């Protein structure tokens, strides 16, 4: 509580006009389960200067309190207290469903190039926004978006309901949702490649086994779905050129072609 007060003072001193608006501010606590959450009676107050003295916080405190919420929207991404991403995915599903009918109309133009441009502008822009954060969600939630993505592709291409999903993506030359997530992770690894620690073994192992990257170990399922843990696993399966080369349009196209034929499903089980 005192920390928030000091933050206010530093911001006000350096920028003069910036203050914390308690009416528009909320706070959220994170825990993998309900047992790890603080009691509802606990309050977070924004202490005013007259409330804090050298002797501590005044016993009669009327300072404003921040509301504790179970979920909050930050930069367009819904974040919940258990990091399950179900609320954000529900919001995405609602936005994507409105596009299905529009792509039925676009299909009547009978122009694959225009259809692909519209798909990237309206559908993929929603699919890949913030995907580095929520892309590791449980399959129960993740597959809800994948089902809608298939509906959009079928509507855009005018294909029947039982048309193979793999062929849908190849016809429009777009990545399935899971591989779109993997693509963003590989680009993240390329930019932050110096943060991954190479593990070298002194033993005479099989080729390509002695030089691998260290992987994070955790028993919490919620941690296994986060970007840091998945990147540690992914970096040992990606061709070296996608990690070391400078990212260009040519490299991105080669990466997308490689992803089309590679199966990453075992990494999320």
Beta carbons within 8 Å of 23's beta carbon, 6+ residues apart: none
Q: Cα separation of 148 and 127, whole Å?
A: 11
Q: How confident is the model at residue 257 (pLDDT cuts 50, 70, 90)?
A: confident
Enumerate the β-bridge partners of residue 71: 80
Query: Is 263 in the same domain as 203?
Result: yes
Beta carbons within 8 Å of 203's beta carbon, 6+ residues apart: 210
Query: Is 117 in the same domain as 37?
Result: no
Does the pLDDT at position 33 exceed 70? Answer: yes
Report the pLDDT averaged over residues 97-105.
91
Does the pLDDT at position 65 exceed 70? Answer: yes
- Tell whether 48 is covered by a domain: yes
Q: What is the pLDDT of residue 69?
A: 82
Report the pLDDT averaged over residues 85-106.
91
Least confident piece of the model among 86-100, 107-121, 251-265: 251-265
Query: Is 13 in the same domain as 50?
Result: yes
Enumerate the β-bridge partners of residue 198: 213
Query: Is 147 in the same domain as 133?
Result: yes
Query: Is 257 in the same domain as 218?
Result: yes
- Tell whether 74 is covered by a domain: no
Report the pLDDT averaged over residues 64-91.
85
Least confident piece of the model among 6-10, 114-118, 133-137, 172-176: 6-10
Last-in-domain residue among 127, 151, 174: 174
Query: Is 184 in the same domain as 232?
Result: yes
Report whether 106 contacts 156 (CB < 8 A).
Answer: yes
Q: How confident is the model at residue 209 (pLDDT cuts 50, 70, 90)?
A: very low
From residue 71, alpha-carbon distances to 74, 83, 210 in Å are 10, 9, 44
Query: Is 200 in the same domain as 254?
Result: yes
Query: Is 87 in the same domain as 160?
Result: yes
Q: What is the pLDDT of residue 151?
A: 93
Last-in-domain residue among 35, 69, 103: 69
Q: What is the pLDDT of residue 126?
A: 92
Query: Is 269 in the same domain as 187?
Result: yes
Q: Cα separation of 134 and 259, whole Å?
A: 20
Query: Is 198 in the same domain as 167?
Result: no
Residue with the bigger pLDDT between 45 and 53: it is 45
DSSP 8-state code for residue 227 = H
User: How many structural domains is the chain composed of?
Assistant: 3
- At 106-133, the pLDDT tens digits run 888 888 899 999 999 999 999 999 888 8
Last-in-domain residue among 69, 93, 114: 69
Q: In terms of C-beta density within 10 A (0-12 exposed, 13-18 middle, 19 or more buried), how is residue 86 classed? A: middle
Does the pLDDT at position 166 exceed 90? Answer: no
Query: 3-class SS at 26?
Result: strand
- At 186-201, the pLDDT tens digits run 888 888 877 765 544 4
Does the pLDDT at position 154 exceed 60? Answer: yes
Query: 3-class SS at 79?
Result: strand
Q: Cα separation of 200 and 227, whole Å?
A: 24
Query: 3-class SS at 178?
Result: helix
- At 218-249, the pLDDT tens digits run 666 666 677 777 777 777 778 878 888 888 88
Q: What is the pLDDT of residue 216?
A: 61
Query: Is 204 in the same domain as 255?
Result: yes
User: Which range of residues forms the domain containing residue 225?
Assistant: 179-269
- Tell whether 169 is covered by a domain: yes
Q: What percentage of the chain has pLDDT greater than the value 90? A: 17
Q: How confident is the model at residue 94 (pLDDT cuts 50, 70, 90)?
A: very high
Query: Is 161 in the same domain as 186?
Result: no
Q: How confident is the model at residue 205 (pLDDT cuts 50, 70, 90)?
A: very low
- Tell whether 76 is covered by a domain: no
- Tell whether 77 is covered by a domain: no
Q: What is the pLDDT of residue 36?
A: 77
Q: Cα separation of 117 and 123, whole Å?
A: 10
- Tell whether 154 is covered by a domain: yes
């Amino acid at each position: 509580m005192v920390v928030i007060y000091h933050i206010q003072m530093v911001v006000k001193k350096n920028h003069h006009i910036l203050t914390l608006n308690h009416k528009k501010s909320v706070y959220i606590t994170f825990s993998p389960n309900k047992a790890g959450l603080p009691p509802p009676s606990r309050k977070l107050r924004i202490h005013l200067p007259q409330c804090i003295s050298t002797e501590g916080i005044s016993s009669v405190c009327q300072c404003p309190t921040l509301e504790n919420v179970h979920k909050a929207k930050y930069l367009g991404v819904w974040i919940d207290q258990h990091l399950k991403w179900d609320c954000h995915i529900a919001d995405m599903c609602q936005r994507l469903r409105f596009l299905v009918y529009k792509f039925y109309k676009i299909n009547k133009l009978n122009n694959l190039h225009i259809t692909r441009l519209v798909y990237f502008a309206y559908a993929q822009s929603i699919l890949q926004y913030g995907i580095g954060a929520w892309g590791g969600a449980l399959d129960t939630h993740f597959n809800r978006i994948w089902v809608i993505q298939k509906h959009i592709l079928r509507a855009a291409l005018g294909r029947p309901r039982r048309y193979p999903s793999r062929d849908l993506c190849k016809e429009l030359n777009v990545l399935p949702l899971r591989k779109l997530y993997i693509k963003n992770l590989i680009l993240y690894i390329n930019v932050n490649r110096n943060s991954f620690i190479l593990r070298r073994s002194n033993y005479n192992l099989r080729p390509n086994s002695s030089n691998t990257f260290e992987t994070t170990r955790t028993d919490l399922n919620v941690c296994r779905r986060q970007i840091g843990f998945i990147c540690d696993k992914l970096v040992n399966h990606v061709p070296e050129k996608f990690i070391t080369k400078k990212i260009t349009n040519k490299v991105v196209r080669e990466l997308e072609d490689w992803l089309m034929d590679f199966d990453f499903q075992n990494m999320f089980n």
